[in-house]
């Protein structure tokens, strides 16, 4: 069995405008065959899907991302099975838009984790059965503490990156309980500051704690640029996957237009290897990186992984990278 994960998918603003005339496949460019080849696919959905709601104004916010409700078809076109909603844009247009997003995803049979009608719903894991494998998916964020779900208020599964905090302990409890229900457990972490290609020390410690508590894979995002991959106790930690679809201006140095499709292959109930396919964002669209672009992106990832003690194999020049796990 193999499954694919990607970082932030933003369908708002210019992407949303383009989708008024483009088909739902447009944001995926030429990447759709890779998604089709996987048995299960997930991403961080960095926007709301709604035709209603007003901009969040309780606290200042520079950017608000909303996509027309019909654009759930974009996710369907890539066969996305699960999305993380634990992020700093899922309440950009208030509680009505969040409820709309949840309803639209449910109707489309796309699983979601990390936000909900109350704290219990926001912390609820997804358990997907893929063939004979049970895949667990838990999502949290350290962004937007004002959006924290409570027992009586909708919101996100928010917690500070502090293992001693009660909310972090709740996450560890969720991970422990889900471990008993899943063959492979993915913990999605929307965390940390924008930019910076190296993980924070506190993220490394926290990710290790998640692995020790039962996570088979820690899948980080939010920083807009990809970071290296660590294997801790033979469990991969992707500290940041980078952006995948958006309309952002490109930083010429940090290159937030570069990312990967991360494909995980399994042997029984164990992860056996990761395949990394280099990508570029252009014109609000993800595209397979080729030629010199692919060579540059691969070399950067290889160097960042080596800093974390992870050996990377090049399957072909300017193409897919491989990280053996077993």
Determine the average pLDDT of the residues in 123-143: 97
pLDDT of residue 317 exceeding 70: no
The pLDDT of residue 49 is 98
Q: Mapping DSSP to helix (H, G, I), strand (E, B) and coil, where does residue 17 land?
A: helix
Domain boundaries, the chain: 2-324
pLDDT band for position 10 (cuts 50, 70, 90): very high
Averaged pLDDT of the chain: 96
113 beta partners: 84
Please tell me the total number of residues recorded for the chain in this structure: 326
Q: Are 255 and 301 in contact (CB under 8 A)?
A: no
Which CATH number applies to 2-324? Answer: 3.60.21.10
Structure tokens at 200: 């924070």
Could you report the per-residue pLDDT of 30-67, keeping only the tens digit for each?
A: 999 999 999 999 999 999 999 988 998 877 788 999 99
pLDDT band for position 318 (cuts 50, 70, 90): low
Alpha-carbon gap, residue 199 to 91, rounded angstroms: 26
């Amino acid at each position: 069995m193999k499954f694919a994960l990607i970082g932030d998918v933003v369908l708002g603003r210019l992407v949303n405008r383009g989708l008024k005339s483009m088909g739902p496949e447009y944001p995926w460019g030429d990447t759709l065959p890779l998604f089709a080849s996987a048995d299960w696919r997930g991403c961080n959905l960095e926007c709301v899907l709604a035709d209603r709601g007003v901009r969040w104004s309780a606290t200042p916010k520079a950017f608000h991302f909303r996509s027309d409700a019909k654009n759930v078809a974009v996710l369907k076109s890539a066969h996305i099975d699960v999305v993380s909603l634990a992020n700093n844009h899922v309440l950009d247009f208030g509680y009505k838009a969040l409820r709309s997003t949840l309803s639209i995803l449910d109707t489309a049979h796309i699983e979601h984790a990390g936000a909900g009608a109350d704290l219990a719903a926001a912390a609820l894991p997804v358990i997907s059965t893929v063939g004979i494998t049970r895949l667990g998916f838990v999502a949290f964020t350290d962004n937007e503490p004002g959006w924290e779900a409570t027992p009586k208020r909708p919101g996100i599964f928010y917690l500070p990156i502090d293992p001693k905090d009660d909310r972090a302990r709740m996450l560890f409890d969720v991970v422990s309980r889900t471990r008993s229900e899943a063959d492979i457990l993915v913990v999605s972490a929307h965390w940390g500051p924008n930019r910076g290609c190296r993980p924070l020390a506190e993220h490394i410690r926290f990710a290790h704690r998640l692995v020790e508590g039962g996570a088979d894979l820690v899948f980080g995002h939010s920083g807009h640029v990809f970071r290296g991959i660590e294997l801790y106790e033979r469990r991969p930690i992707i500290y940041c996957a980078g952006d995948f679809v958006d309309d952002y201006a490109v930083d010429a140095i940090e290159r937030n237009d570069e990312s990967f499709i991360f494909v995980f292959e399994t042997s029984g109930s164990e992860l056996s290897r990761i395949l990394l396919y280099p990508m570029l964002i252009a014109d609000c669209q993800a595209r397979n990186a080729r030629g010199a672009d692919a060579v540059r992106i691969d070399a950067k990832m290889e160097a960042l992984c080596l800093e974390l003690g992870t050996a990377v194999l090049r399957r072909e020049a300017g193409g897919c990278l491989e990280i053996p796990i077993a």
